[in-house]
Structure 1
Amino acid sequence: MILKNREKSRELLMIESLNNRMKLSGKDKTHFYNLKKGFEGEVLFDRYIVEFVKCDCLVINDLLLQVNQTTFQIDSLMIISDCLIVFEVKNFEGDHYYEAESDKLYTNSRDVEIVNPLGQLMRAETLLRKLLQNNGFTLPIKSTIVFVNPAFTLYQAPMNKPFVFPTQITQLLTQLDSKPSRMTNKHKILADKLLSLDLLDSPFKQIPEYEYDHLKKGITCAVCSSFSLVVEGQSCVCLSCDHKESVTSAVLRSVGEFRLLFPERKVTTMAIYDWCGGVVESRKRIQRILDTNLKMVGKFRWASFE
C-alpha cells in the first residue's frame, strides 16, 4: 500500500514556472534540468513498484526528515515485515565509470566527477537509524541505489556495492514481492510516525531571483507549456499541441501558479486578469470563476479570494 504518493516539489514547480516566464541563467537551467530529470526517474521507479510489488507492505515516497538538526531525504521507503528498505533512485544517463581506488563516479569523458550516491545513501541510512532509535523503533534497515534509466551504463561496476541496474529492477522487486510479509499495528504506527515527521518542503530551495514585472504574463498550456492559448467558448485551446482545457480549469491553474510565486500578494480579479495576460478577455468571466470556486474575503474594491 502506498501511503504517500510522489508529487513535484515546491522548488521544482516554482522553477518550472519561472522557466516558462523568464530567461534562466545557465546555472539555474542546469539545476532545473537536474530536478526535472530526478523527478522523472523517481516516477518511473514508482511505476515499477506498483506493477511488481503486490505483497503486504507500506511504501512512503519522498520523505524529508530531520534528526539532531540534520535534514535528509529518502526517495522511497518500503516497510516490510522484518525490515525497512531505503531506495535511492538515480536517473543518470549515458556511460559512466567507477573508480574503485577512490570510490568515485565519473562521466564518460572521465573528467567530470559525479557525486557518489553511495555517500548519500549511507548518510540517509545512518540518520534514519538514529531517528528510529530516538522514537523507540528497532527494525533493521537495508539500502540500495536504483539506476532506473535504461540508457545508463556503469563501467567497472563493483559487485560488492548495493547497486541495482535497469535490467535488474524487475528481478529485485519480484524477489521482494515473493517474501512473506504481513503488516502489523507496529508497522502502521511506525509509518504514521514517519509521515508525521515529514517536513514536506525543503528549507534548502535554490530559486532564482524574480520580479512580477519581469515575468511573461499569460496562461500556459497544461501539456506543452506554450503560451499559444485561445479561448473558444468554454475551452482554452492550445494552438501548438491542440490540447483542450476548460476555461475554469485554466484560470484556476493560473491562480495556483500566481499563489506559488507570489504568496504575499492577494488574489483579486484584477490581479488574476493581469496575470492571465488577457487570454480571457472578460474580467467578469474571471470574477465569476473566482466567485464560484474560491472563498471571497472582504467586499467591493477590497475583495480578495482565498
Structure 2
Amino acid sequence: MFITDRRKSKELLFYEALEVRCSLTGQEVKRLRALRRGFEGERAYDALWEAAGHDHLLIFRDIWLQVGNAVLQADVLIIDDGQVTVNEIKNYSGLYRLENAVWSVNGYRISEDPVAQVRRTVGKLTHIRSKGGHSFQIDGKVIFINPDFNLTSDSETDDRHIINRTILKPYMADIAAGYASREASDVAETIKSCIIDDPMRVPELDPSRIKPGIRCARCSAVDLSIKRYAVECRQCGHHETTERLVVRAIVDHSNLFPDASMDKKQIRWMLADQVGLRCIEHALTKYCIAIKRGKHAAYTVETHYLEELLAIKQYKSRYEKKPSQI
C-alpha cells in the first residue's frame, strides 16, 4: 500500500503560481516544463502500481530523508520482508547514450547521472539499516517511464540499474509477489523517523513582477463577472465563490513567498482591491494560522495545497454551484 501521497514539489507549486501571475522568462518556462514532465512521469508510474497491485507492500513516495548530515530525496521506496527497493523515476524521451559514465541526448551531454543518483540513495539506506538494527537487502533501479526513451550504453554494470518501459510491468509484478509483515513494518517506522519536510528553497521573487488581480481558476482569464458572493468567467463560464477565490490567492501568496508571513494588505494587493476587506479578513481568520495578532496581524498556512486546505478547514458555501449548474 502507498504510505505517503504523491505531491507536487515546493518548486513546482512556485512556478505554477508564478505562471498565472506574471510573464515567465525563457529559463523559467524551461524549468516549469521539466518539473511538470517529471511529475507526470511519477503519476504514470503510480498508475502502473495501481494496476499491478500493491496491497502487500509498503511504498513510500516522494519523500525527503535526513540521514546523518546528508539530505536526500527518494521518488519511491518499496519495502517487503527482507528488502528495500529504491526506484528513481525519469520521464526522459529521445535518443540517449551512456558512454564512459557520461550521459548525453542527441549528442549533447547532460549534467544528470540517474544511475549515480540511485546509487547514492542505496548507499544512504545502509546507514538507515544500521541505525535501526535491521537486516535487509537494498536494490536500486532507475525507472525510465516514457515509452519514447531509447538508450545505448557501453556499461553492463550501469545497465543492471536500469528498467525501461518495455519491462516495467513484469518488474513490478515480480516485486508485487513479495509480502510486508511485521519485519517490514519495523523498517518502515525507521524510515519514517528520518523523513523531513521539503528543504528546497524556491527562487527569490521580486514582488513587482506580480500582476495583481483576479483570474479564472480554470482558464486564467481576467474577464470575470464579479458579483457579491461569486465570480463567473465570461470566457469559459467557470463559476467560483468569492471565499474560494480569496483562499486561492492566499495559497498563491504562500507558494510565491513561502518564507514570508502574510497580512490582509498583501492579499488585498494580490486581488487588486477587487474583493472587500471584510471577506479577506474572514478568509485569513478561517483558513490561516495567526502568528501575530492585533492591529498588525500576520498569518501563515499549514499546507500549500489548495484542495487540502479547503478540506482541512471544511470549506462549504451555499453559493457554490453544483457541476450540473456550471
Shift in CA distance, 116/240, structure 1 to aligned 2, threshold 3 Å? farther
TM-score (norm 1): 0.84
Shift in CA distance, 167/286, structure 1 to aligned 2, threshold 3 Å? same
What is aligned with 1:286? 280
Alpha-carbon distance between aligned partners in 1 of 2:110 and 2:58, rounded to the nearest angstrom: 35
Q: Provide the identity percentage.
A: 25
1:7-31 deviations in whole A, cap 9, x for unaligned? 1121221222223333444333333
Residue 208 of structure 1 and its aligned partner are, at CA, apart by: 3.1
Secondary structure in 2 matching 1:190: helix
4+ residue stretches of structure 1 with deviation over 6 A? none
What is aligned with 1:166? 165
What is aligned with 2:199? 202
Gaps of 5+ in 1: none
Residue 167 of structure 1 and its aligned partner are, at CA, apart by: 2.4
1:280-304 deviations in whole A, cap 9, x for unaligned? 3x333334444554567645x4455
Please give the root-mean-square deviation of Cα atoms over the aligned residues, in Å: 2.7
Tell me whether 1:257 sits opposite 2:255 in the alignment: no
Task: Write the letter of the residue equivalent to 1:244.
Answer: H
Alpha-carbon distance between aligned partners in 2 of 1:229 and 1:244, rounded to the nearest angstrom: 10
Secondary structure in 2 matching 1:62: strand
1:152-207 deviations in whole A, cap 9, x for unaligned? 22245866422211222222212222x241421x322321221231122124x3x3
Range with greater deviation from structure 2 (23-32 or 69-78): 23-32
Task: Write the letter of the residue equivalent to 2:104.
Answer: Y
1:104-159 deviations in whole A, cap 9, x for unaligned? 32212x13335221111111111111222133222111111111112222245866
Shift in CA distance, 267/200, structure 1 to aligned 2, threshold 3 Å? same
Residue 73 of structure 1 and its aligned partner are, at CA, apart by: 1.5
Tell me whether 1:123 sits opposite 2:120 in the alignment: yes
Alpha-carbon distance between aligned partners in 2 of 1:167 and 1:150, rounded to the nearest angstrom: 7
Gaps of 5+ in 2: 301-326
The answer to whether the Cα contact below 8 Å between 1:64 and 1:200 also exists between their aligned partners in 2 is: yes
Pairing partner for 1:104 from 102, 105, 112: 102
Shift in CA distance, 161/224, structure 1 to aligned 2, threshold 3 Å? farther
Tell me whether 1:61 sits opposite 2:61 in the alignment: yes
Secondary structure in 1 matching 2:108: coil
Residue 60 of structure 1 and its aligned partner are, at CA, apart by: 0.6
Alpha-carbon distance between aligned partners in 1 of 2:153 and 2:164, rounded to the nearest angstrom: 13
What is aligned with 2:26? 26
What is aligned with 1:267? 263
Shift in CA distance, 302/35, structure 1 to aligned 2, threshold 3 Å? same
The answer to whether the Cα contact below 8 Å between 1:89 and 1:147 also exists between their aligned partners in 2 is: yes
Shift in CA distance, 133/291, structure 1 to aligned 2, threshold 3 Å? closer
Tell me whether 1:276 sits opposite 2:271 in the alignment: yes
Pairing partner for 1:147 from 144, 147, 157: 144
Secondary structure in 2 matching 1:92: coil
Task: Write the letter of the residue equivalent to 2:115.
Answer: L
The size of the alignment, in residue pairs, is 296
Alpha-carbon distance between aligned partners in 1 of 2:127 and 2:299, rounded to the nearest angstrom: 44
1:47-83 deviations in whole A, cap 9, x for unaligned? 2112212341111111211323122221001111221
Residue 231 of structure 1 and its aligned partner are, at CA, apart by: 3.3
Shift in CA distance, 142/210, structure 1 to aligned 2, threshold 3 Å? same
What is aligned with 1:38? 38
Task: Write the letter of the residue equivalent to 2:35.
Answer: L
Task: Write the letter of the residue equivalent to 2:171.
Answer: L
Shift in CA distance, 74/305, structure 1 to aligned 2, threshold 3 Å? closer
The answer to whether the Cα contact below 8 Å between 2:132 and 2:187 also exists between their aligned partners in 1 is: no
Range with greater deviation from structure 2 (25-34 or 66-75): 25-34
Pairing partner for 1:132 from 107, 118, 129: 129
